[in-house]
Amino acid sequence: MSDKKIVYSGIQPSGNLTLGNYIGALRNFPKLQEDYDCIYCIVDMHAITVPQEPKVLRAHTLDILALYLAVGIDPEKSILYIQSHVPQHVELMWLLNTMTGLGQLQRMTQFKAKAGDNKEVYAGLLNYPVLMAADILLYGSHYVPVGDDQKQHIEMTRDLAERFNSRYSDTFVLPEMLKTKVGGRVMSLQEPTKKMSKSDPDANGYVLILDDDATIRRKFKRAVTDSQGKIAYNDDQPGIKNLLDIYSACSGKSIEDLLKAYEGKGYGVLKEDVAEAVIQEIGPVRERFHEIRGNKAYLEEVYTSGAQKAAYRANKILRKCYKKMGFIPR
C-alpha cells in the first residue's frame, strides 16, 4: 500500500445531482487522485434514511457511479464502490452507536431540518451521522472533501474517533474536512438564503448536472434577485451573490474581476453569462455521462472490483475494533 494520505468521500443516490453537488464536491474528487489515496463511495444506505422508490434508487445509484467516472475518477487509481456492498460499514456503525449521545444526534442541524414537522421520524435518520462516521473511520481517512453543510458531521466523526481511541487505545485517524476554495455552498436559485438541494420540491431552485442547455438557461433567467439594480457582492443581495459565486466557480474568474467587468450592467446580462459559464463547465461531463451510463457491463465491473478492494481494507480496521472491545475473534 502507498504512503499517501487517504481521502474519502461519499454522495447519496437520493436524487439527480445538482450544480451544488458538482461544485461543492464532485468536481474536486478527480483532482485529488494524483496526490492522495482516494476512496469514493455511493452511500445508498444513507439515501434510505428518507423514503426511496426501489426502482428509482437503483437507477440513481448507477447514475452517480457513471457521474463519478464522467468527471474523471479513474477506477485504476481510486477505489469506487457502493456502500451496501461492504457490510462492514453497518457493523462499525453499530459499535459506534453504543458510544454516541442521543442528545448530540438530536442537535444535528441536518436531522432537525429533515425531521422537520414529520409526525413519524425514523431512527435511521437520527443515526445518519453515525453511519457517516463509520464510513470515514473504517478506512483510516485523513481528509474528507465535502461541501460546507457537512461540517457538523465531520466534527461528530472526530468526536467519536477520539472517544473510541481514548477508551480502547489509538485506533482511528482523526479526519479533517477538505474545504472547497470556491463554491462550498451553492444556494437555491429561488430562495438564495437556502442551500441548493436536489430534494427541493421547486425544480427551479436547482440546476441539475444533467439538465439540458435550454433548461439551464431558463432556470438562470428565472433566478430570484432583488430590486437594488446594482451588481455587488454582499449579504443584502443573496441572489446576486450566489450568481457571482457560481460564475466564479465555473469560469475561474475572481469575484473582484467579475465585479469590475459587470459594473453598471443589468441583472439580465449577468444571468445569461452565468448560464453560459455553467453550460461550458458541465456540458462535457453530461456527454461523457451518457456514454458511460449505457455500458452496464463496465459499470458492474467497476463496482464489483471496487467493493472487493474496499472490503479488504475495511475488514482490517473492523477486526481491530472488535478485538479491542473484547469480542471473541472468529
20 binds ligand ATP (CB under 6 A): yes
Per CB under 6 A, the list member of 6, 8, 12, 311 interacting with ligand ATP is 12
Q: Which of 52, 78, 150, 242 forms a contact with ligand ATP (CB under 6 A)?
A: 150
What is the bridge-based pairing of β-strands 176-178 and 37-42? unpaired
CA angle 187–215–73, rounded 5-degree value: 65
Q: Residue 15: which of ligand ATP, ligand LTN, none does it interact with, CB under 5 to 8 A by kind?
A: ligand ATP
Q: What is the C-alpha to C-alpha distance for residues 279 and 159, in angstroms, rounded to an integer?
A: 41
Nearest CA to 233 out of 263, 251, 255, 266 is that of 255
Q: Which does 238 bind (CB under 5 to 8 A by kind): ligand LTN, ligand ATP, none?
A: none
153 in contact with ligand LTN (CB under 6 A)? yes
In order, the DSSP letters of 162-230 are HHHHHHH-S-S---EEE--SS-SSPBPSSSTTSB--TT-S-GGG--BTT--HHHHHHHHHT----SS-S
Grid cell 448507477 in the structure block, residue: 62
Question: Which residue, among 198, 195, 177, 173, has the nearest Cα to 186 in the 3D structure?
Answer: 195
By CB under 6 A, is residue 141 in contact with ligand ATP?
Answer: no
| Contacts to ligand ATP from residues 152-191, by CB under 6 A | 184-186
Residue closer to ligand LTN by CB (options 43, 209) is 43
Kindly give the residue spans of alpha helices, DSSP state H, lying in the chain: 19-24, 29-32, 44-47, 54-70, 88-97, 102-106, 109-115, 123-137, 151-168, 213-221, 238-251, 255-261, 267-293, 296-325
The reply to whether 151 sits near ligand ATP by the rule CB under 6 A is no
- Minimum CB distance to ligand LTN, residue 247 (Å): 24
CA distances from 284 to 72, 160, 261, 288 (A): 11, 40, 26, 6
Q: Which of residues 108-137 bind ligand LTN (CB under 6 A)?
A: 132, 135-136
Question: Does residue 149 belong to the site contacting ligand ATP (CB under 6 A)?
Answer: yes
Number of residue whose CB is nearest ligand LTN: 10
Out of 77, 151, 179, 198, name the contact with ligand ATP by CB under 6 A: 198
Mark whether 114 is an active-site residue: yes
Binder among 196, 270, 282, 311 for ligand ATP (CB under 6 A):
196
Contact mark string toward ligand LTN, 37..56, x via CB under 6 A: ------x--x----------
Cα separation, 180 vs 87, whole angstroms = 30
Question: CA separation (Å) from 83 to 80, 103, 155, 224, 256?
Answer: 10, 27, 21, 37, 42
Please tell me whether residue 263 adopts helix, strand or coil conformation: coil
The stretch near ligand LTN (CB under 6 A) out of 5-13, 96-104, 231-239, 278-286 is 5-13
Instruction: Tell me how far apart the alpha carbons of residues 140 and 92 are, in angstroms, rounded to a whole number.
Output: 13
CB of 281 to ligand LTN, least distance (A): 21
Closer of 46 and 271 to ligand LTN (Cβ): 46
In angstroms, give the least distance from the CB of 233 to ligand LTN: 26
Which CB, 176 or 301, lies closer to ligand ATP?
A: 176
The contact set with ligand ATP (CB under 6 A) reads: 11-12, 14-15, 20-21, 23-25, 146-147, 149-150, 184-186, 195-199
The contact set with ligand LTN (CB under 6 A) reads: 8-10, 12, 43, 46, 132, 135-136, 144, 146, 150, 153
Active-site positions? 114, 195, 198
